[in-house]
Amino acid sequence: MQRRKFLRTAALGTAGVASVSTLAAPAIAQSMPELKWRLASSFPKSLDTLYGAGEVLTKYVAEVTDNKFQMRLFAAGEIVPGLQVADAVQNGTVELGHTAGGYYVGKDPTFAFDTALPFGMNTRQQVAWMNWGGGRELMNELYKDYNIYGMNCGATGAQMGGWFRKEIKDVGDLNGLKMRIGGFAGTVMQRLGAVPQQIAGGEIYPALEKGTIDAAEWVGPYDDEKLGFYKVAKYYYYPGWWEGSAMLHNFFNIDKWNALPAGYKSILRSASAVANEWMVAKYDAANPAALRRLVAAGAEMKPFSQPVLEACYKASNDIYAETSAKNPEFKKVYDSMAAFRGDEYLWWQVAEYTFDTFQIRALRRG
């Protein structure tokens, strides 16, 4: 942005204040200190949408500040492994991380709410809760204890249920199944007999190929195609009930965040919102064609059966009740989310769902 040119042009348009142009630029420059930050991503460069949100963010911030605020983006493994980004932010190794809160449920299960809860909310509902339902404030209360300030920055939309070497016809087929599945969903799958594995994105394919795991979930068609899962596991299940929307976040080191001028904080909020919109739109645009290609390559689409979904739903709610009973922070956030979700689906069934259902049926007819 040619900020100084704009200021000079504006000044010339007002009689008698041409001298303002010579004063305004230095004043603004003084209010915008030069900063160089490091941004650690949880994702490899090959996943151009997940990693790409970090590129959108850094480019936006640099342009708006005339390169006074520069952030150097590092892919997973370049500074720390993808699943250790929150730790790097917490201890000050980096100023900022782009990651998923659900990766860190080992710290506190409440971290899951920042990404997705099994049978939680869809993307729009999640964003609405974060921005208007108190979700962001509740999560940042938790993050204070970890030297983190969080801000949503991206979402995948509803995810697929993953790739399986064998068919899942009933709940018994989950028993002993070694599956790459992260976050809170792994706890639910374990309750049903599966053996969850937390593996970073770039390491999933070799584990599936070697038989170290029997199944794996990641995001959806566009990313799954890039990672090549269809080559080593042909059954492609849906829906990913554990992530009706997987929201990603910027995790700021809280001391670095608090030290920023107000203007830079506003720029980061705007940049995060731009990256959020960019990611959601890109996945929605890219997934249909990728799904067609995967099916053409031999992937067999399979819906989870109603008994499997019902068993997963019951196990999820049982775990929420148990966790709420022993973790007051989790209960506070869960109660907020659940109440908001109830109101959202009251509205969804009136307009959104009926509209989408009609459109799908009409398109199938002709």
Pairing of strands 162-164, 235-238: antiparallel
Q: How far apart are CA 273 and CA 157, in angstroms?
A: 15
Residue 272 domain flag: yes
Residue 333 domain flag: no
CB 79 within 8 A of CB 95: no
Residue 352 domain flag: no
Residue 258 domain flag: yes
Q: How far apart are CA 115 and CA 45, in angstroms?
A: 21
Residue 66 domain flag: yes
pLDDT of residue 291: 98
Residue 99 domain flag: yes
Model pTM?
0.88
pLDDT of residue 309: 97
Range of the domain at 47: 33-158+245-285
**What residues form DSSP beta bridges with 300?**
235
Q: pLDDT category, 15, cuts 50, 70, 90?
A: very low
The pLDDT tens digits for 125-157 are: 999 999 999 999 999 999 999 999 999 999 999
Residue 144 domain flag: yes
Question: What CATH number is given to the structural domain containing 75?
Answer: 3.40.190.170
The C-alpha angle 73, 78, 81, rounded to 5 degrees, equals 110
CB 235 within 8 A of CB 165: yes
With 80 as the cut, is the pLDDT of residue 20 above it? no
CB 168 within 8 A of CB 304: yes
Residue 318 domain flag: no
Choice between 12 and 300, residue whose per-residue pLDDT is larger: 300
Q: What is the mean pLDDT of the chain?
A: 91
Q: How far apart are CA 216 and CA 202, in angstroms?
A: 12
Look at the chain and report how many structural domains it folds into.
Answer: 1
Q: Which of 26-30, 246-250, 357-361 has the lowest mean pLDDT?
A: 26-30
Q: How far apart are CA 96 and CA 54, in angstroms?
A: 10
